[in-house]
Structure 1
């Protein structure tokens, strides 16, 4: 197996100089760095960052914490796209991405604990923001651990690093889109208002209908029980026949509403739906659904930049808070 000593020998430098060159040290001249790079290429050598991390008690690994949900987050394109954004930045800076998941709080905490104590991971990205989150509280108590939140934090907003959309404004824009198309009775459909993003979108919806002095409606869907959702939606429609517009908290929820309406033989001409995320789901729906594009890959890449800067100060981003724009996409 090729080692750093082999690279140093081929480049005509000491192993310590080769190591500094690999880490782009200012102590090493550009000429020497180029010699070391050429030797690495010739020997097809990649630095063993995991071994270096153990030696330095620092891991070039970003732990990504996924939310605990009844349905699989792997089925949600939002999380796939945001992970792609994170991976793009981490790969460019020789960081490894490690996922922390769990079906229950205890399982997720155990996985995070393993990353911290066995893998020396000190840097995490939360892909959600939730009120009274025991997972976040656990991470906060760990020594020398940094974290970034994708979403707006519930507390300590000024001191917490986070990346988010302006979900209140985005939802207000989505609601006004329906209002401008002549809809006066609009319902907000959600799955969990304990999640900051869904709550903010509900606030934005309420602000828009209140400004027009319209009535507000909301409908709580289950995250994994389709038959229950069908019964809820049909019962709601029967009790509120005046409702003709839907703002759904995300693409999956919006598509579920549309499918239930179709299955029940209800004329889709009466109901117009706007969702969030603009995933492939909205584009393959029949008819296609208007969506608010929130640019999840950009959310992920910006979160990774903040996370790397948090731990090592290697990227001068000049801020701890990044707001990613949104855009309504008509299909």
Structure 2
């Protein structure tokens, strides 16, 4: 038979309401009594009923995670799996449950988040990417519901965000290629509605401008964060009469597609074309050649975002609205051929 709160109260010599207050963390119970009751709970193997606890404390001890759409991208791009690993680690250490949701369209996503919020199923929401106009963010703001965004917000109202300085990171990636002697540098970008695409595009352009290199719009291709996007980009750019000698690629997975496309077209990396990607996912060392990449601290992004949301939900002070995770350039063979 399962141990009940009455069993704990009887062994501790207190009322069931006192045990209930210990479970919900009430400050009305002394430290000595709290420790004694918790010891008895462990001894008897009593596990508090989470539903009953949430009714008393008005919290669920759960947070919601909005997955990218289409959800298939989650399983095709190592960025999201590493990001979620950081989130899960922090949630586990803080004994927080994680509920995931998504939607095939923006409307479906808002409806899914609405069910979590209005049904009081979670205490806060984590958003994994930043759109320029995001109906989910607008919904959460109207509801005055706690949330943290992984990425930079372009909204005027203050939003809690955890991000990389993507503009500076793209500048550093492009500058590295310029320092290798490249003057003809292309850029394989992401979806134009995402803030990250805009920031990295601006960093790339800024580096060209600071080096006195003219921008070539025909060498910039927008796409998705998938291998196929990089593969298609090469058929568009490398068929032009004048071609780049190097590329900055918005994501490592896209860079893998670029590498495959170049190989099929007969170009060698880095002898003919140099490449720099982003995210420094584990398999970048295993490509042929190994890929130079900007390490943006994906795990730290997820862990810190979850930690920040936990503090907000608990009402703890937070140092600032926007937290920046440092990045670093990891140089490998794909960019180590100096242009002549």
Q: Is the 8 A contact 1:191 1:249 kept in 2?
A: yes
Q: CA deviation at 1:162?
A: 0.8
Q: Indicate which of 258, 275, 282 corresponds to 1:273.
A: 275
Name the TM-score, length of structure 2 as normaliser. Answer: 0.88
Please give the alpha-carbon distance, in whole angstroms, between the structure 2 residues aligned to 1:26 and 1:205. Answer: 54
User: RMSD in angstroms over aligned alpha carbons?
Assistant: 2.2
What whole-Å deviation, never above 9, does each CA across 1:190-218 have from its counterpart, x for those lacking one?
A: 12121111210111111001101113331
> Any idea what SS the aligned residue of 2:310 has?
helix
Partner of 1:301: 303
Please give the alpha-carbon distance, in whole angstroms, between the structure 1 residues aligned to 2:307 and 2:206. Answer: 33
Partner of 1:178: 177
Given the superposition, is the C-alpha separation of residues 196 and 257 from structure 1 closer, same or farther in structure 2, using an over 3 Å criterion? Answer: same
What whole-Å deviation, never above 9, does each CA across 1:6-33 have from its counterpart, x for those lacking one?
A: 2333333333332333344443333323
Indicate the larger mover: 51-60 or 72-81. 51-60
Partner of 2:97: 96
Matches within 5 A, 1:194-233: 194-216=193-215, 217-222=219-224, 226=228, 230-233=231-234
What whole-Å deviation, never above 9, does each CA across 1:106-151 have from its counterpart, x for those lacking one?
A: 3222211221222443411111110111222222222x41211111
Given the superposition, is the C-alpha separation of residues 330 and 232 from structure 1 closer, same or farther in structure 2, using an over 3 Å criterion? Answer: closer
Please give the alpha-carbon distance, in whole angstroms, between the structure 2 residues aligned to 1:311 and 1:100. Answer: 19
Matches within 5 A, 1:1-331: 1-69=2-70, 71-142=72-143, 144-156=144-156, 159-216=158-215, 217-222=219-224, 226=228, 230-239=231-240, 241-268=242-269, 269-313=271-315, 315-331=316-332
What whole-Å deviation, never above 9, does each CA across 1:246-301 have from its counterpart, x for those lacking one?
A: 11111111111011112232222211111111112312212110111111121112
Q: CA deviation at 1:173?
A: 0.7
Q: CA deviation at 1:238?
A: 2.6
Please give the alpha-carbon distance, in whole angstroms, between the structure 2 residues aligned to 1:70 and 1:87. Answer: 18
Given the superposition, is the C-alpha separation of residues 277 and 50 from structure 1 closer, same or farther in structure 2, using an over 3 Å criterion? Answer: farther
Given the superposition, is the C-alpha separation of residues 229 and 162 from structure 1 closer, same or farther in structure 2, using an over 3 Å criterion? Answer: closer
Q: CA deviation at 1:305?
A: 2.1
Q: CA deviation at 1:71?
A: 4.4
Please give the alpha-carbon distance, in whole angstroms, between the structure 1 residues aligned to 2:132 and 2:185. Answer: 27
Indicate the larger mover: 43-52 or 102-111. 43-52
Q: Is the 8 A contact 2:148 2:308 kept in 1?
A: yes
Q: CA deviation at 1:94?
A: 2.6
> Any idea what SS the aligned residue of 1:239 has?
coil
Indicate the larger mover: 246-255 or 259-268. 259-268
Given the superposition, is the C-alpha separation of residues 86 and 37 from structure 1 closer, same or farther in structure 2, using an over 3 Å criterion? Answer: same
Q: CA deviation at 1:170?
A: 0.8
Please give the alpha-carbon distance, in whole angstroms, between the structure 1 residues aligned to 2:325 and 2:232. Answer: 36
Given the superposition, is the C-alpha separation of residues 150 and 240 from structure 1 closer, same or farther in structure 2, using an over 3 Å criterion? Answer: farther
What whole-Å deviation, never above 9, does each CA across 1:158-214 have from its counterpart, x for those lacking one?
A: x21111111111111111111112222111101212111121011111100110111
Given the superposition, is the C-alpha separation of residues 276 and 80 from structure 1 closer, same or farther in structure 2, using an over 3 Å criterion? Answer: same
Q: CA deviation at 1:224?
A: 5.9
Q: Is the 8 A contact 2:294 2:328 kept in 1?
A: yes
Equivalent pairs, count: 327
Unaligned runs of 5+ in 2: 333-340
Q: Is the 8 A contact 1:50 1:60 kept in 2?
A: no
Q: CA deviation at 1:231?
A: 4.8
Given the superposition, is the C-alpha separation of residues 79 and 286 from structure 1 closer, same or farther in structure 2, using an over 3 Å criterion? Answer: same
